[in-house]
Each structure stands twice: as structure tokens, then as C-alpha cells.
Amino acid sequence: MAGVGQPERATQDRVIALFRDELGYRYLGNWEYRDGNSNIEETLLTDYLSRCGYSPAQIARALDILHSEADNHARSLYDNNKAFYSRLRYGVQVRTEAGRNTETVHVINWAEPEKNDFAIAEEVTVYGNHEKRPDIVLYVNGIAIGVLELKNSRGSIGDGIRQSLVNQRAEFIGAFVSTVQFIFAGNDSEGLQYGAIGTPEKYFLKWKEEEDNSRFKLDKYLLKLCNKSRLIELMYDFVLFDGGVKKLPRVHQYFGIKAAQEFVRRKEGGIIWHTQGSGKSIVMVLLAKWILENTPMPASPSSPTAMSWTSRSSACCVTPG
């Protein structure tokens, strides 16, 4: 494809334009020399929460809790990330005065993705024991939820992944990525790979959907994964913390669960076929979690709405109870 081999700066400029013009993210600017870059940009989050109708006291308390969850020095990066994710997903419980009831401040609108504030900044300099500068950071309502490392087509995506893994170490900027849900690395020739905090290089995933050779692989898969509605859906329904390992879905797991959801909505059973090693357990856990949250609980095990689940070596089965 014409343009492959262009300098990394040209790729980054094109990706920024893609986020701004096609995905509808706000461009916050080049933050290489900006002071105080944070994974929780208080001004942006305060503006969003104010528009949602929360009081200054509620917002101030929510910010305190979010900061303490993201940067608890007594916990590992995994545990901080897990605790922070819980606040993202379920809201922040705040009490502004003694004796008052606890209230929930929701920092992301999961039901209406377009009502969130999606933004990107480039060259985000973060000061720790060692200064680091992610190429692009994705923010939702001022919270850093994604980092993207870009390489030119002569370099390997693996270089970007390894750079992200170094950044996650405590002696570098591990505290910054405690809020991050997606680690992206890409270039024009190889495309895009993604993982979570702590994902080893060999387990970074590739997204493959609707072959389109009219544009760069990197661009077309950023358009798929970072679409506002899909990014919110992936964060809400497809994140799994499993015994010290954070996991994200592979593309076939995502679409398998999406298809199964439609059957469940119609109160129908079905089978998701798998090959060996394709991740049946993750599919079953994520699908079961979705069913528990999105279908009424049956009055009894014999209720027609009850569902039974079976996992086999070659298939995941969903059958009416």
C-alpha cells in the first residue's frame, strides 16, 4: 500500500486525525511539555460530573477516592487496576457529610456511550523515577483508559509492546497506567495488537474483522476497537480479572458472546463451537456474568426462564432449563 514506510511522526499525525475526524474524539493537544499530566485529569472529570448534575462536594469526594484507589502504594499494579476498575464500572460511593446517606457517583455513562467525553492527547510526558512519554493516551471523561505506542513500518509492533511493558514497572510510570484498561501497539505494516496491564508480549491479541485493503491495517482496527460504543462495551462487559491476571477477549470470543446474547434475549439455547485452546472458560465466565446482570432471576430452578450451562472440550452449550 502506498505510504507504508512513512516516518513514525507521519503515522502519528494520521492516527490523531483518525481519532479526531472519524471516531469523534476531542484532541487535547501535545502534552510533552505540559506540567501535571495525570491519569485522572481533574478539570476534565469535574466538568463532566458537573454536567451530570453532581454537587461540588460529591465530585471532590469522588476524586479523592479515585486517586486513592489508583495510587495505593501498599498494592500491586494489578490490585490497583482491579480496584479502580470496580469504581469505574459500579460507581464511586460517596458520603459528603456525617449522618447522610451514601450516594453513588457514576464516572462513566455506560448506557449512553456518546454522552461521555472521549479525548486523546499525544506525547503525554509522565514524571516518575524515570520520565516516560506514551505516544497517545485515550481519555474518557478525563480518565486515562488507553495508551497507544506507535512504530513505523520498519520497526516491530513488539518494540511498542515491550516499551509499554517497561512503562508499567513501578520504577517507571506504573502509577500512571493503574487506570488504563487497554494497551495498544501498532504500525502500518503489521496493524494493531492489544492487551491489558501485565499482559506478556506473547499474549497480546490481534483484532481481525471485515477485511478492507483500501487503508492501513492500523487504521481499520483502531476504527473497530476504539469506536466509542464498542470501547465502552468492551470495558463494561468484556474485562476479566482472574487470579492475578487481567484478561481481554479475543475477536472470536467477543463475537461469540455477542451472538449468544441475542439467543438469550429470545430465551433460546444454543451452542458456541470452539477448537481446543480457544478460550471456552473465558467465554463462559463473561457470558454468565452478562446473563446474571441482564436477565431476570427465575423464581425457581424449574422456571422456563432458567438456563443451564455446560462446558465441553469442543463446545460451550447454552440450553433452556
Residue 215 pLDDT: 85
H-helix or E-strand containing 145?
Answer: strand 143-150
Mean pLDDT in residue range 204-211: 85
Tell me the percentage of the chain whose pLDDT exceeds 70: 88
Mean pLDDT in residue range 83-91: 97
A 10 A CB-CB count for 83 gives 15
H-helix or E-strand containing 30?
Answer: strand 26-30
Amino acid (one-letter) located at 213: N
Residue 295 pLDDT: 80
Whether residue 212 has pLDDT greater than 90: no
Task: Write 303-306 long-range contacts (CB < 8 A, 24+).
Answer: 304/267, 305/267
Whether residue 7 has pLDDT greater than 80: no
Spatial separation of the C-alpha atoms in residues 225 and 213, rounded to whole Å: 17
Whether residue 314 has pLDDT greater than 50: no
Mean pLDDT, the chain, as a whole number? Answer: 88
Whether residue 96 has pLDDT greater than 80: yes
Q: Each residue of 147-187: pLDDT tens digit? A: 999 998 777 899 999 999 999 999 899 999 999 999 999 99
- Show the CA angle centred on residue 269, arms to residues 267 and 275, nearest 5°: 145
Residue 298 pLDDT: 59
pTM more than 0.85: yes
Q: Each residue of 99-128: pLDDT tens digit? A: 788 999 999 999 999 999 999 999 999 987
Whether residue 1 has pLDDT greater than 60: no
Question: What 8-state DSSP symbol labels residue 203?
Answer: G
Collapsed DSSP state (helix, strand, coil) of residue 170: coil
Query: pLDDT category, 301, cuts 50, 70, 90?
Result: low
Tell me the percentage of the chain whose pLDDT exceeds 90: 71
Mean pLDDT in residue range 54-66: 97
Residue 300 pLDDT: 52
187 and 153 in contact (C-beta within 8 Å)?
yes
Mean pLDDT in residue range 67-94: 97
Spatial separation of the C-alpha atoms in residues 90 and 138, rounded to whole Å: 21
Whether residue 309 has pLDDT greater than 90: no
Spatial separation of the C-alpha atoms in residues 39 and 299, rounded to whole Å: 44
Residue 119 pLDDT: 98
Residue 154 pLDDT: 77
Residue 294 pLDDT: 87
Residue 272 pLDDT: 76
Place of cell 424449574: 302
Spatial separation of the C-alpha atoms in residues 130 and 118, rounded to whole Å: 28
Collapsed DSSP state (helix, strand, coil) of residue 176: helix
